[in-house]
Structure 1
Amino acid sequence: MTDRSVTKKTRRPEARPTEILAAALDLFAEKGFSATRMEDVAARAGLSKAAIYLYFKDKMALLTALVNEMAGANLAVARGIAESHQGPVSPLIATILSFMGGQLHNTRFPELLKIVISESRAHPDVGRLYLDSVIRQGLPMFEALINRGIAAGEFRQVDAGFAVKAMLGPILLAAIWKTVLEPLGAEPLDIEAYAAQHAQVFLKGLQA
């Protein structure tokens, strides 16, 4: 039988930031950002009160790391998909929406979105972090794709800024549905099928 205390003492130090972030996400989702204390995160991660400060200076540093690790990584993948794609834009957008649907279904990204939405009024820095790190980085990239399709005659003339918000709005709804409405009794949403249908409807509306 493995001694759990020995396991904690002998685990690799490089694994600890990942464990700390997982514990922070658990607690932010369960208790809220305001109610979570650094010592709570340390206890959940199996560390002493002092040890956690060797890795993160405060709760905002934890949340920043979560946004960079989850939302930032998703954005980087979407950017990589876009930069490596050649040819019509429609299949590219469908691929990106499929990727987003998969992330909502298979990862804890919806929990992060819920935290940002629920905490931004009391803690504007939380919302500002997401706005600067994700929204203001992602929207121009997606707008460029819409404009690329318009320039090629693939899409009709539309306002690219509005089109991108229409593209991403249903993805946000899916995250809210999963984290807020389903726990209250709403029927489960097949997010990947939903994302696929959304791609079809959205791209049909853009066709020249």
Structure 2
Amino acid sequence: MSTAPRQRRKEARPQELLAAALSLFVEKGFAATRAEEVAALAGVSKGTLYLYYPSKDDLFKAVVRENLSSRIAEAAVLAAQHQGTVADLLCHVMGEWWRQVGLGTAGGISKIMMAEARNFPELARFYVDEVVQPTHRLLGSLIERGIQSGEFRPVPVADTVHVLVGPMLHMILYQHSFGACKLHGPTIDPPAVLAVQMDLILRGLLSTPPKASDQ
């Protein structure tokens, strides 16, 4: 019985370390974050941190897998099981991505990579393999699915995926840059912007334009 609390603490350490690392990476950037800061925020020694993650690169990769890769995989499973229209599925996937990633700290990972990829090409390659390509494959598969079913008109799939991703990325970058500074300027209401984006996208994709009563 006396070892149970220590066992629970040991099992919790990886999650605590990843949460601390995510917070500091987003706040300070990858290059400026030090391992001892992550360990201190998580309430463990630097040696304990290295026991789980031998290098800062390993720690960052684990943060990406925990907060982004896993959610992309979950969305792919959901898409494979979906029985309704592709339009509804596409709206759901985009909405959930914003709810789970864009609204939280995890969205800041995208800003880190946009800002620091040039200085850390190995991590950039990892991010492309783990996040960018799987996201594009998932969204591309939905567009292709809609085209094959006749729900969507034929469109260039890869280009359409960029049109889907672009506004989402813009909102995330704004939120973690100008938005974090609390500057007075153009305001962004992400749910409203996402709703307009999907309305415009679907009106361009659907084989049969929505009736006036649906507008």
Q: TM-score by structure 2 length?
A: 0.86
**CA contact 2:67–2:106 (8 Å) conserved in 1:** yes
**Counterpart pick for 1:156 among 153, 156, 174:** 153
Amino acid at match of 1:196: A
Residue 62 of structure 2 corresponds to residue 65 of structure 1:
yes
Aligned-partner Cα distance in 2 for 1:28–1:147: 36
Decide which moves more: 58-67 or 120-129: 120-129
Offset of residue 174 of structure 1? 1.1
Structure 1 residues 81 and 61, CA gap change in structure 2 (3 angstroms): same
Offset of residue 116 of structure 1? 1.6
**Counterpart pick for 1:76 among 64, 67, 73:** 73
Aligned-partner Cα distance in 1 for 2:103–2:140: 26
The CA deviation string for residues 118-162 of structure 1, in whole angstroms up to 9 with x for no partner, is 110111122211100112222122212111111222111111111
Report the 3-state secondary structure (helix = DSSP H, G, I; strand = E; otherwise coil) of the residue aligned with 1:120: helix
Report the 3-state secondary structure (helix = DSSP H, G, I; strand = E; otherwise coil) of the residue aligned with 2:176: helix
Offset of residue 32 of structure 1? 2.0
Q: Which residue of 2 aligns with 1:5?
A: none
Decide which moves more: 124-133 or 99-108: 99-108
Offset of residue 15 of structure 1? 0.8
**CA contact 1:100–1:171 (8 Å) conserved in 2:** no
Q: Which residue of 2 aligns with 1:200?
A: 199
Residue 55 of structure 2 corresponds to residue 45 of structure 1:
no
Amino acid at match of 1:204: R
Structure 1 residues 47 and 96, CA gap change in structure 2 (3 angstroms): same
Q: TM-score by structure 1 length?
A: 0.88
Q: Which residue of 1 aligns with 2:89?
A: 92
Decide which moves more: 52-61 or 147-156: 147-156
Structure 1 residues 36 and 105, CA gap change in structure 2 (3 angstroms): closer
Runs of 4+ in 1 over 6 A off after TM superposition: 8-11
Aligned-partner Cα distance in 2 for 1:159–1:167: 13
Q: Which residue of 1 aligns with 2:105?
A: 108
Structure 1 residues 10 and 85, CA gap change in structure 2 (3 angstroms): closer
Q: Which residue of 1 aligns with 2:212?
A: none
Decide which moves more: 58-67 or 105-114: 105-114
**Counterpart pick for 1:27 among 16, 24, 29:** 24
- Where in structure 2 are the equivalents of 1:180-199 lying within 5 Å? 180-184=177-181, 185=183, 186-199=185-198
Aligned-partner Cα distance in 2 for 1:183–1:40: 21
Offset of residue 101 of structure 1? 2.0
Aligned-partner Cα distance in 1 for 2:61–2:179: 27
Aligned-partner Cα distance in 1 for 2:136–2:7: 44
Offset of residue 51 of structure 1? 1.6
Decide which moves more: 120-129 or 30-39: 30-39
Report the 3-state secondary structure (helix = DSSP H, G, I; strand = E; otherwise coil) of the residue aligned with 1:180: coil
Report the 3-state secondary structure (helix = DSSP H, G, I; strand = E; otherwise coil) of the residue aligned with 1:189: coil
Aligned-partner Cα distance in 2 for 1:178–1:105: 9
**Counterpart pick for 2:132 among 122, 131, 135:** 135
Report the 3-state secondary structure (helix = DSSP H, G, I; strand = E; otherwise coil) of the residue aligned with 1:72: helix
**Counterpart pick for 1:172 among 169, 173, 177:** 169
RMSD, aligned α-carbons: 2.0
Q: List alignment gaps of at least 5 residues for structure 1.
A: 1-7
Aligned residues: 201
